[in-house]
Amino acid sequence: MGSPFTRPGGRESDLDLFARVTSGILAEVRRVIVGQEDVLSGALVGLLSGGHVLLEGVPGLGKTRLVRALAGALDLAYSRVQFTPDLMPADITGTNIIADDPSGGRHFRFEAGPVFANLVLADEVNRATPKTQSALLEAMAEGQVTVGNAARPLPAPFMVLATQNPLEMEGTYPLPEAQLDRFAYKILVGYPSLHELTAILDLTTGDATPRVTPVAGAEEILRLQSLVRQVPIAQHVRDYVARLVMASHPGERDAPRHVRQYVRFGASPRAGQALVLAGKVRALLDGRYNVAFEDVRWAAHLALRHRLLLNFEAESDGVTTDAIIDQLLMGTRADDVADRVRAS
């Protein structure tokens, strides 16, 4: 692939495409979504980095509406699965059915489930049983679904955006750790401000319904995902990512006191991958073609908050994963990492 700054044969450069598509997506989604800028930024990072996104918040905050708006801004196949306690794995992946053929015989035919789309909304994912939740594991990790003896590839790009209610709410099942780790980013959806709430009421109770228009298709999104992976990251920034992940493990020498006291298990290598890719996306969104320490720090809560498993002492003391990540960021200083790299 040529340089992202070039325009081979008059073709729009990848950097120009990135600016046009991202600004177009944001403009279209903001037609129907008020506020929630952090949520929108996190979802956009997931899309452009090729990662899955988990959105958590109480009912009524617009999680589903935001995902629908994002899907409307993209010319991609979109499907929605409403997770309920009686949902079965085959309702998601599809199944082999017996069909008649013209000769009078019968054969098995695969009936694809809703997971065979570019954007899949797993709505209220933690209201289904763990068996059904696990039906997404292979799809999210490998981009394919195995039914019977056949592995069937999913369309590219492929992204799962899941919404869930807080675990303390009635009728919820906690996602298994293995599935949580498949989500690149977890976004907390909070309440709107008074000004935003007033704007939401004006937008949703009038007689005019804003329409969202697609601004990009599969080819453009795949080009942008490829561009993100081309963004360079310096060794000292990469080392900073590695040290952040390692410091989240309570048995590590450099782990902060709060990690040793409250964390049972730290972040996996997938957390480091998510941090690097999110940093690359943020750099491009900021008009830079290199990853800075600040990009990694911005992505830390998105990539780590669902990968830290806290112990009972943390629960009794009211300590949250976000508070632990704050301690991680304070305890792992970027300038210390840079000094170690220069000394090595």
Q: What is the pLDDT of residue 171?
A: 64
Specify the DSSP element, H or E, that contains 163: strand 159-164
Q: Which two tokens stand for residue 123?
A: 């709505």
Looking at the fold, whether 198 and 264 belong to one and the same domain comes out as no
- Say if 41 falls within a structural domain: yes
CATH number at 262 reads 1.10.8.80
Structurally, the chain folds into a number of domains equal to 2
Q: What is the pLDDT of residue 1?
A: 44
- Say if 98 falls within a structural domain: no
- Say if 155 falls within a structural domain: yes
Range of the domain at 340: 231-344
Looking at the fold, whether 179 and 307 belong to one and the same domain comes out as no
Looking at the fold, whether 235 and 218 belong to one and the same domain comes out as no
Looking at the fold, whether 31 and 74 belong to one and the same domain comes out as yes
- Say if 92 falls within a structural domain: no
Long-range contacts of the stretch 288-293 (C-beta < 8 A, 24+): 289/4, 289/15, 289/231, 289/232, 290/231, 290/232, 290/233, 290/234, 291/231, 291/232, 291/233, 291/234, 291/237, 292/237, 293/237, 293/240, 293/334
Q: What is the pLDDT of residues 162-200, one digit of tens each?
A: 988 876 556 677 787 888 888 999 999 888 889 888 888
Q: Which two tokens stand for residue 228?
A: 């993100």
Q: What is the pLDDT of residue 74?
A: 92
Give yes or no for a contact between 57 and 199, defined as CB atoms under 8 angstroms apart: no
- End position of a domain, from candidates 177, 211, 227: 227
Looking at the fold, whether 43 and 177 belong to one and the same domain comes out as yes
- Say if 93 falls within a structural domain: no
Residues of the chain with pLDDT under 70: 1-12, 104, 107, 167-171, 333-344
Place of tokens 């009038």: 206
Q: Which two tokens stand for residue 112?
A: 């694809």
Q: What is the pLDDT of residue 192?
A: 84
Looking at the fold, whether 214 and 235 belong to one and the same domain comes out as no
CATH number at 183 reads 3.40.50.300
Looking at the fold, whether 312 and 165 belong to one and the same domain comes out as no
Which spans in the chain are helix H? 14-29, 37-49, 63-72, 90-93, 130-133, 137-142, 177-180, 194-204, 218-230, 235-247, 257-262, 269-285, 293-304, 312-317, 321-331, 334-343
Cβ-based burial of 63 (10 A; exposed 0-12, middle 13-18, buried ≥19): buried
214 Cβ neighbours under 8 A, 6+ residues apart: 72, 73, 74, 75
Q: What is the pLDDT of residue 168?
A: 59
- End position of a domain, from candidates 227, 257, 281: 227
- Say if 36 falls within a structural domain: yes
15 Cβ neighbours under 8 A, 6+ residues apart: 4, 5, 227, 284, 289
Looking at the fold, whether 218 and 333 belong to one and the same domain comes out as no
Q: What is the pLDDT of residue 35?
A: 83
Looking at the fold, whether 210 and 255 belong to one and the same domain comes out as no
Q: What is the pLDDT of residue 220?
A: 92
Looking at the fold, whether 16 and 154 belong to one and the same domain comes out as yes
